[in-house]
């Protein structure tokens, strides 16, 4: 690494010594237990056809947005999409280029100096990064622990002088696949004058019928200050939206830097989202959702039959995690499954705390029962060799 800054080279060496150095690689031809394409919409022919026709009808010779949405990029498909999102979610929506951009823009601009942000210790890195870039003080509370949330509120707002208090969680957590007790969390927020913000990335299109997400499935959308919806998971597309009040949307348009200062999504990306929303409410889309839920139930049943439950987190979502502590150990396990035809990826520290390294199985509507039975059989061979 001659000529490369010494501090940066040292950090790369430290990551390599932890057996946690990331690299870009492809694994073609394996059974997918890794992608976020829960409903198969990223590979859905009907969605692709609808998107192509929408672009042909609206912009037959336009490949890119050619500017930010505040300049030349606010094409008609954006207006159609945000109008549709408002109908679906019952509140105004603002589309961002990605879930990362949405969280960065929201948390860097909404909480102000003198405000307090209390966030679940397992929230996504984009939320943490947004809080760090903002002016408010942010503190974590223990995962899904309302008692610790109350303790942190007392500790960091002793005099009650915080102008606003934001409580931040996810509806389905990406590393454990579990969910908070949203009814109780909203009751806490109502009792302590806090505003609840929920990242719905891994619940959208999975929890509830259609694309509603967990908050709306539980009927809690009117009490929630903001929802962040990410389209790169079950919707099989790209982009994200913040859903909240009209003043919230206006504020983000004016002050969310990740919205203001970026080129808008191209027409085809927005058309794909319109196609995905069209498809998911059809009878075929409903069947895909039901098949995913059936696969989750079947996976959990197989864990019990194969005596693997003790290794897995308690999740009823499409994310199922097998704890195999140690970066080297979990990478070896992933390599064994990949070598036998199954794309299962390891989650290493420091992405998760040291000692909680894991294999993450992402389930899909297109996985067969034979696929599930076979991959877990290979996992048994690795964990419990004869």
- 258-308 tens-digit pLDDT: 999 999 999 999 999 999 999 999 999 999 999 999 999 999 999 999 999
User: Binning pLDDT at 50, 70 and 90, where does residue 110 land?
Assistant: very high
pTM, whole model, 2 decimals?
0.94
* Summary mean pLDDT of the chain: 95
d(C-alpha 34, C-alpha 331), whole Å: 14
Residues 344-360: tens digit of each pLDDT? 999 999 999 999 999 99
Residues linked to residue 94 through DSSP beta bridges, in sequence order: 242
Confidence (pLDDT) at 384: 80
The two domains 45-280 and 283-381 share their CATH topology (first three levels equal) = no
Rounded to the nearest 5 degrees, what angle is found at the Cα of 38, between the Cα atoms of 369 and 182?
Answer: 110
Q: Where are the domains of the chain?
A: 45-280, 283-381
Confidence (pLDDT) at 63: 85
Confidence (pLDDT) at 61: 66
Phi-psi label, residue 308: left if phi above 0, alpha if psi -120 to 50, beta otherwise: alpha
Residues 126-142: tens digit of each pLDDT? 999 999 999 999 999 99
Considering the domain 45-280 in this protein, what is its CATH number?
3.40.640.10
The rounded percent of the chain whose pLDDT value lies above 70 is 99
Give the position of tokens 């195999």.
324
pLDDT over 70 (residue 1): no
Are the CB atoms for 347 and 358 separated by under 8 Å? yes
Q: Which two tokens stand for residue 196?
A: 């609840």
Q: Count of CB atoms within 10 A of residue 207's CB? A: 24
Four-way CATH pick for 283-381: 3.90.1150.10, 3.10.20.310, 3.40.50.1000, 3.20.20.80: 3.90.1150.10
Rounded to the nearest 5 degrees, what angle is found at the Cα of 242, between the Cα atoms of 238 and 245?
Answer: 155
């Amino acid at each position: 690494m001659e000529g490369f800054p010494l501090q940066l080279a040292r950090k790369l060496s430290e990551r390599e010594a932890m057996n946690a150095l990331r690299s870009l690689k492809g694994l073609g031809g394996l059974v997918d237990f890794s992608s976020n394409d829960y409903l198969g919409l990223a590979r859905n022919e009907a969605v692709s056809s609808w998107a192509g026709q929408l672009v042909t009808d609206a912009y037959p010779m336009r490949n890119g947005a050619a500017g930010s949405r505040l300049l030349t990029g606010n094409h008609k498909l954006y207006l159609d999409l945000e109008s549709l999102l408002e109908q679906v979610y019952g509140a105004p929506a603002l589309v961002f280029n990605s879930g990362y951009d949405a969280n960065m823009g929201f948390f860097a601009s909404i909480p102000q100096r003198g405000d307090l942000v209390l966030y679940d210790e397992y929230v996504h890195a984009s939320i943490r990064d947004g809080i760090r870039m903002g002016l408010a003080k942010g503190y974590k509370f223990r995962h899904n622990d309302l008692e610790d949330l109350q303790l942190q509120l007392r500790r960091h707002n002793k005099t009650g002088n915080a102008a606003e208090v934001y409580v931040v969680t996810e509806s389905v957590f990406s590393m454990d696949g579990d969910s908070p007790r949203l009814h109780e969390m909203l009751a806490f927020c109502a009792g302590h004058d806090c505003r609840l913000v929920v990242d719905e990335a891994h619940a959208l299109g999975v929890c509830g019928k259609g694309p509603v997400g967990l908050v709306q499935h539980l009927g809690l959308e009117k009490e929630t200050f903001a929802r962040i919806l990410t389209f790169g998971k079950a919707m099989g597309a790209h982009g994200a939206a913040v859903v909240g009040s009209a003043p919230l949307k206006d504020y983000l348009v004016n002050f969310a830097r990740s919205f203001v200062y970026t080129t808008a999504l191209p027409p085809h990306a927005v058309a794909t989202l319109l196609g995905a929303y069209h498809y998911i409410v059809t009878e075929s889309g409903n069947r895909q959702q039901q098949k995913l839920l059936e696969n989750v139930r079947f996976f959990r049943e197989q864990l019990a039959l194969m005596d693997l439950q003790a290794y897995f987190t308690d999740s009823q979502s499409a994310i199922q995690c097998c704890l195999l502590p140690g970066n080297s150990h979990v990478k070896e396990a992933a390599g064994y499954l990949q070598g036998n035809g199954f794309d299962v990826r390891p989650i290493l520290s420091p992405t998760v705390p040291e000692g909680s390294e894991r294999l993450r199985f992402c389930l899909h509507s297109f996985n067969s029962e034979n696929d599930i039975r076979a991959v877990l059989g290979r996992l048994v061979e690795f964990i419990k060799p004869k």
